[in-house]
Amino acid sequence: MQMHYVAVPEPGPPDVMELAVGPIPVVGDADVLIEVAAAGVNRPDVFQRLGKYPPPPGASPILGLEVAGRVAEVGRDVAQWNVGDAVCALVAGGGYAEYCAAPAVQCLPLPEGVSVVQAAAIPETFFTVWTNVFQRGRLALGETCLIHGGGSGIGTTAIQLAAATGARVFATVGSAEKCSVAVSLGAEDAFNYHTTDFVEAVRDRTKGRGVDVILDMVGGPYVARNIQALAIDGRLVQISFLQGSRMELDLHPIMTKRLTLTGSTLRPRSVAEKGALARDVHEHVWPLLESRRVRPVIDQTFPLANVVAAHRRIESSEHIGKIVLTVGR
């Protein structure tokens, strides 16, 4: 059996991608095969297309880290899913296709009241935010956090989940429109980094104390400034380094302010770790989605055949929230 999928014959700009025909993935004993209705687009897909983020060993080489659709086949050892179930799934690759294999433990039911397009935009960002802001960053009720990239898929998710936890939330963004969206999602204030120094702004809003948790994907010159913006016992959680990971840094404040510098990547973790994370997200985040206290912010959808336009849009950074590919047969 054959399917359409997005091929990247060589690393390069968005227009290297093309629709191709290839075999439907083979389903392992602990996997399900999903007939994909929608697939989320994430910044790491851009890095993979550019040849800078190869899939981990054993993962599908096809782009795409999250999908939603219906279960079309179940592996021999899978008891929790049946053919026809509506699911969304975190995958280590393979999402930009008509069919995608996923470990059964990395699938979750569609939250009630959430469309299949919205569901496809959930796993990669919500799992990433949960494990970084709450597990590593230990953000708690009454604390204060700063979310960089507040208009991104990750940022729009982090603002909502942090606000739902009862934290005070600040965000940095690159435009006035993104400032308004960040505030509408629950941020107390959002700072346009083109015009506002976030260290000064955060100190001002916290009466000089600083913030307890910072989620950062910028790195480079932000690292030293993040350390300045953290409160005593603050935690800096690094999920990317868009402006570089090498710098000269004075680490003395780690000692004097008792700071924690941490970070993580999701994709290379084991199926067992991702399964445990899926259970946590199901327990803590699904009720927030079903009560509509949080929702994936969808910027735009594109048909799978129009994947080049979808990648041009994410690379423009004009989008707010998530871009989703729709897959119709």
Ligand X SMILES: NC(=O)c1ccc[n+]([C@@H]2O[C@H](COP(=O)([O-])OP(=O)(O)OC[C@H]3O[C@@H](n4cnc5c(N)ncnc54)[C@H](OP(=O)(O)O)[C@@H]3O)[C@@H](O)[C@H]2O)c1
Site residues (CB under 6 A) for ligand X?
42-44, 124, 128, 149, 151-154, 173-174, 178, 217-218, 239-240, 242-243, 264-266, 314, 317
Q: Which is nearer to ligand X, 74 or 324 (CB)?
A: 324
Q: Which is nearer to ligand X, 73 or 157 (CB)?
A: 157
Q: Which is nearer to ligand X, 199 or 314 (CB)?
A: 314
Burial of 109 (0-12, 13-18, 19+ CB in 10 A): middle
Query: Rounded to the nearest whole angstrom, what is the least distance from the CB of residue 193 to ligand X in the complex?
Result: 7
Q: Which is nearer to ligand X, 42 or 144 (CB)?
A: 42
DSSP state string for 214-245: EEES--TTHHHHHHHHEEEEEEEEES--TT-S
Query: Rounded to the nearest whole angstrom, what is the least distance from the CB of residue 165 to ligand X in the complex?
Result: 19
Query: Rounded to the nearest whole angstrom, what is the least distance from the CB of residue 83 to ligand X in the complex?
Result: 30
Measure the CA–CA gap between 288 and 294, rounded to whole angstroms.
6
- At 82, the amino acid letter reads N
Query: Rounded to the nearest whole angstrom, what is the least distance from the CB of residue 242 to ligand X in the complex?
Result: 4
Query: Rounded to the nearest whole angstrom, what is the least distance from the CB of residue 57 to ligand X in the complex?
Result: 17
- Helices vs strands, H then E, count in the chain: 11, 15
Q: Which is nearer to ligand X, 206 or 317 (CB)?
A: 317
Number of Cβ within 10 Å of residue 247's Cβ equals 13
Q: Which residue has the tokens 């770790």?
A: 273
